[in-house]
Amino acid sequence: MTSVSRRTLLKLFAGASTCAVCGNVHANRLSYDLAATEIASGTWAVHGKTEYFTLENGGNIVNVAFVEVPDGVVVIDTGPSKRYGEALAALIEKTLPGKPVLRVYNTHHHPDHFLGNQGFDRAVLATSQGVIDNIAAEGDGFTDNMYRLVGDWMRGTSSVAPGKALEAASEDIGGRRFSLSYLNGHTSADLVIRDDETGVVFTGDLAFLNRAPTTPHADIQAWQTSLAQLDQMDRELFLPGHGKIDKSNESLQQTSDYLDWLSSTIKQAASRGYTMNEAMSTAIPARFASLDVVDQEYQRSVVHLYLQMEDELMPIIEPK
């Protein structure tokens, strides 16, 4: 086992199949077939499926993006594997031939957002120190488990942390200014990027739309605070980490509403002395029933959060 703990890996991958050789469903087709959609002037999104990691999708469940700036290209997140990162780099070259990639931002350390870093020069990879530290602590363990989940799609993939730690509130990249917000809640370090010219805000996994949020490193209270901060941003649209673009604040409202229900439901189960299995049997409210993978993610969230909330409700009192 690598530096990441077994308990952390259980939390991240609970409820997922760990078989990497269960047949040949993908043996003859290891191509991501990425396509870019222009969501604002000079800004392209590459939308992933709103699923969980499978042998069929190769881990392609994440939204990444790239922005044309006067002197080159800025990229937001790199996908789940070396193969994906290389496919993304090729798509950028096809879309913007001859334009160099000047900056690649990683929004956080979950594997679908940074394991494509090998497709780019490490000198242009950048994120907050907190994200870099999280990748250093858990990246190898996540990589190992992605191999188990999606098999050959991961060939040659290793964990590569950005070489540049960011701390400024903004930076000028190739003639375009990007504002940077250092938030947390989905993980202990979540980087949000705003293109100051178009007003597009890249939220990473602080926002989901029509897909249930993931919670392996969640601090629900901090996450709600970050959502409130995002709602105050001057923006043209949000690109959430998973789901379609959001020109209102639907992704923020939906994520906040779900987290509020999730937290109160698990706390109520813990306060009543339910077992985790009993907590998992709670019915999903109708307003969330249409969210993709909601049943699986709710059950995973019970694994992630139940003991934490139980400890909050019933703290251990040391004898005097």
Q: What is the mean pLDDT of each run of 10 residues along the chain (320 residues)?
A: 45 45 52 97 98 96 98 98 98 98 98 98 98 98 97 97 98 98 98 98 98 97 98 98 97 98 95 92 96 97 89 71
Q: Which amino acid, 230?
A: L
The model's pTM: 0.90
The phi and psi torsions of 69 (rounded to 5 degrees) equal -115, 165
Closest CA to 213 of 292, 290, 111: 292
CATH code linked to domain 6-250: 3.60.15.10
Output the pLDDT for position 22: 42
* DSSP annotation string for 151-213: GGGGTT------SEEE-SSEEEETTEEEEEEEE-SSSS-EEEEEETTT-EEEEEEEEESSBPP
Q: Report helix, strand or coil for 34.
A: coil
Helix (H/G/I), strand (E/B), else coil: 297: helix
